[in-house]
Amino acid sequence: MHKSLFAAAVAVALPAVVASTSSCSHQSKATPVNVTWENLGHQVDTAGNPSYVQRFVITGDVGRVARLAFNQFDRPMQPTNAGDTVVKIIPGYYYIASSEWSADQDSLVMEIVTGGLCTSFSFAPDGVHGVDAQGQPFDVNFERKSLTARPEQWRVEGRRDRMPYADQIYDFNATLATDEPLGAYDILPSFKSVTLGEGTYTGEAKGETKIVENANPEWYSIIVAPEGITVEAANEATARMAWRTVGRLLAANGGSLPAATVVDYPDFGYRGLMIDVARNYQPLEEMKKFADVMADYRLNRLQFHFIDDEAWRLEIPGLPELTQYASKRGYTLDEAENLAQIYAGNGDANNPKGTANGYMTRQDFIDFLKYCNELGIQVIPEVETPGHARAARKAMEYRYRTTGDATYRLVEDNDTSKYRSAQDFGDNVMNPALPGPYAFMEKVIDEILAMYKEAGAPIEYFHIGGDEVPAGAWSGSPSAVKFMQENNIADEHGLHAYWADKMADMLNARGLKLAGWQEIAIDKPEDVARAIAPKIGFINLWVPWAQHGAKELPAQKAQRLGLPVLLSAVTNYYFDLMYDYSPDERGLNWGGVVDEFKSFDGYPNRLAPPVKGAPSKVIGVQGQLWAETMRSPEWLEYYLLPKMFGLVERGWNADSTMTHAKYNRIIDEREMPALDRKNVNYRMRQAGVKVNEDGKIVMNSPYPQAVIRYTLDGTDPTAESPVYEGPLSADGVKQVRARLYHHGKESVPSILIIEQ
C-alpha cells in the first residue's frame, strides 16, 4: 500500500545493546550542543549497489554527549572509523557513539557509509537528540546542510538522474500559458452547467431555499438574479453544501455575481480523503481546520487512520494502555514504558510539542464527529489489523505485564515466527488463531460505536486495514499451525482471509459494512473473494496496474468478483508522494511522484475500466495522506494542496475535463487566494530556466503574476536576490538557480547547469 519503499532495506549486523532505559525526562538547560549533518555524496560499489556517506559534526558542550540518537528510514549503516558504533534501536531509530569521543575535544565527527540513496529532503536524519552518560535524552540544535550544493549529492553513477532541471520545468510551464480569461463561475470542482443571464447580484450568501425531488441526493441548482439568490436542492444537507459554494463564489468575485443558473451534481457519492495521524500526530484543531477545507471542495468522506505500527491515537475506555503507552514515543532501549521514537521527536516521550506524541481523548473524538457531521462529512474509523498492529501489540503486552490481564493479548509466548514487514518490523502482526484479537477488536469497535452514538454522527463503514501482512507472520505460531489444521485452512493467506471474514461478521452484526485495503480480498482465491463480497462496503484499490502477469487490472478483477471499489491509486492519489524529484521537496517517491496534474489526470474510467457484462462497482475516489514524513500542520496542508484539487475535480466530474492551462489558472487566481483567506498553507510550482536559441538565459513562471528571483553563482536564491526582468547573458555562467515568489510564498529552487 504505502510502505513498499522500505521493503528493499537490507538488514545489517549491529552491536548488541545491553543497557536499558525508558526514562525520557529532560535535564535543565545547559550549554547548547550543536549538530550539523551533511550528505558527502553518492558512490556505487562493483555490484552496482549505491550508498552515500553522511557526516555528523557535534560542537558546543561535546562532553555532555555520550550518544547521538536520530531517526532515518531503515538502511544498512557502517561507520568509516573502526572505533565508532552505530546501533539500531528499532528499524528507523539509531544512535551513534564512539570510543574515541572525549570531553576535551572541540568537536565530535562521525562519518557513516549508508546503503541506498539520499536524494530528497525526507531521507535525511530527523528527530536528532543527545543522550548523556546517565542515559537521559536532551535537545540539540540540529542543522542539515544543503542536499543540492554539489551534483554528487543527487546524481548516482549508472542511475537515472531524476532532478527536474530548470529547462524541463520551463518547457512544462510554457504549456500552461493561456490568454483565456476566467469566468465568475470558474472554481473547483467545476459545475455541470452554467447558463448566464442578465444583470448582477451584489450581497451576501443568503436567500431562498427550496427542497425538490431528485434521484441524486446531492443534486442542486443555484439561481442568481439581480434581486436575490435561490438554491434548489434534493435535501437540506445538499442545500447547505450549495450555500457554502455560493459563499465561495461571492468571495472569489468581490461580493458580486453575474446573473446565472447553475445546475450541479457529483458523479460519485463517495469523495474522500484518508489522513494518517498515527505516524505523526495532528491535533484536533488542525483536523477541524482541514475538515472545513474538505467541505469547501465538496469532499464528504474522511477515512481516519488513527493507529498503525508506530502509535495509537484514540482513547478507548477500558484499554488505557493504548494511549498511556502507545501514544508516546521517546528514547528507550527496551520500550518498557513507551514506544521507541520514530520519524521525529526529541527523545522525550512526555513532550507535548511536535508530532511524536499525542492522542484524541474520547470527548475530542466526539467533538470532531459532531463537527464533521455538521459539515456533511462522514468519518470512517480505521483500525489496522491483523498487520500494522505493532503499537496495539506492544500496548496489550504492557497491559499484561503490568496487570496480569491476558484477555486482550494479541500474541502468544512461544511464537517463533520470523518475518519482516514493509517497514522492517518483525513484531507487528496480530494472531488470528488466538481469542485475544477477537476480544480486543470487539471491545475497540463497541467503544468507537458508542462515541458515534453520543455524537449523533452516522457510521456506515468500519475499516480494518488488512494490508501488507508479511510472509511468515504465523509460521512459527503453534496456535496458528494447529488452528489451520483443525479448520482446513491451507496457508497463511487462508488464515488472513479467515480473519477478514470474521471481522466482517462482527461488523455486519452491528449493522456496519467492512472496509479494507485491497489485500483483504483481491489477492485471495476467487471463491473466497466472492463469498466475502456481500459483506464488504468497499476495498481501497491502491494498486491500479496488473500484477504477476495478470491479463486484467485489479479494479476490473474486483468488479468482476462483485467487490465495491474505492479508487485510491498510488499513481494519482497518494498525496504523501513528492511533488517532483527535487531533493529540496519533502515526501516519499517509492510509487513515483504526484502533483496537482497527476491527480487531475487520474480519470476513474482509465484506472478502473468498465467490465463487460458487469455493472460498475466503483463507488468513488479517495486521496491518501500517509504521515511518515509530515512534521507539522503546515506540512499536512503543503502535501495536500494544490494536488488535492485534481482529486476534487475527478470525484465530482469523473470524465469531463478542462485543459491543464485553465485548471492551473483556476488554482492560481481562484483557489490559492481562497486558501490565503483561510490561512491554509500550500505548495508553489517552480520557475523555469533555459538558454534559448540566441544563447540568452530566459525564465518563465506557471503563474503570470509571480516574481522570479535568481542567482548565477550556484547558491540558492533568497528574497533579496535579483528579480528576473528579461533575458540574461549566458557568457561564463555555469549554473543558474531560480525561485518563485507568489501569494506570499516561495517555491523550492530550480537548477540549470550550463555546459560551457
Contacts of 298 (CB under 8 A, 6+ apart): 189, 241, 245, 266, 271, 648, 651, 652
Torsion of CA 589, 591, 594, 599, to 10 degrees: -170
Peptide bond into 610 cis (omega under 30): no
Query: For residue 27, what pLDDT is reported?
Result: 44
Residue 613 neighbours by CB under 8 Å, 6+ apart: none
Question: What's the rounded Cα separation, in Å, for the pair 485 and 481?
Answer: 6
> What CA–CA distance (Å, rounded) separates 596 from 710?
25
What is the phi-psi region of residue 346: left when phi exceeds 0, alpha when psi lies from -120 to 50, beta otherwise?
alpha
Contact 286, 275 (CB under 8 A): no
Concatenate the DSSP letters of all residues of 121-135 into one string.
Answer: GGGS-EEEEEE-TTS
Rg (CA), the chain: 27
The residues pairing with 740 across neighbouring beta strands, listed in sequence order, are: 708
**Closest CA relative to residue 306, chosen from 462, 416, 415, 458:** 462
CB atoms within 10 A of CB 551: 7
C-alpha cell read off for 485:
489444521
Q: What is the DSSP letter of 670?
A: I
Residue 680: name the closest of 295, 292, 304 by CA.
292
Task: Give the residue carrying C-alpha cell 536524494.
Answer: 119
Please report the pLDDT score of residue 191 as a whole number: 98
Among residues 139, 133, 79, the alpha carbon closest in space to that of 109 is found at 79
The confidence score (pLDDT) of residue 559 equals 94
pLDDT score for 7: 35
Mean pLDDT by 10 residues, the chain (756 residues): 39 35 45 95 94 97 96 96 96 96 90 95 96 97 96 93 97 96 97 98 97 97 98 98 98 98 98 98 97 98 98 98 98 98 97 96 98 98 98 98 98 96 95 98 98 98 96 96 96 96 98 97 92 97 90 93 97 98 96 98 94 90 98 97 98 95 98 98 98 97 98 97 98 97 97 89
3-state secondary structure 569-608: CHHHHECCECCCCCCCCCCECCCCCCCHHHHHCCCHHHHC
For the CA atoms of 486, 491, 497, 501, what is the dihedral angle to 10 degrees? Answer: 0
Burial 286-307 (b: 16+ CB within 10 A, else e): bbebbbbbbbbbbbbbbbbbbb
- Alpha carbons within 13 A on the beta-carbon side of 345: 35
Q: How far is CA 666 from CA 114, 183, 330, 339, 427, in A?
A: 44, 10, 44, 45, 48
Predicted model pTM = 0.94
**Cell numbers representing residue 428 in the block:** 507487528
Residue 440, classed as helix, strand or coil, is helix
State the pLDDT at residue 378. Answer: 98
- Report, in this order, helix, strand and coil percent for the chain, each rounded to 5: 25, 25, 50
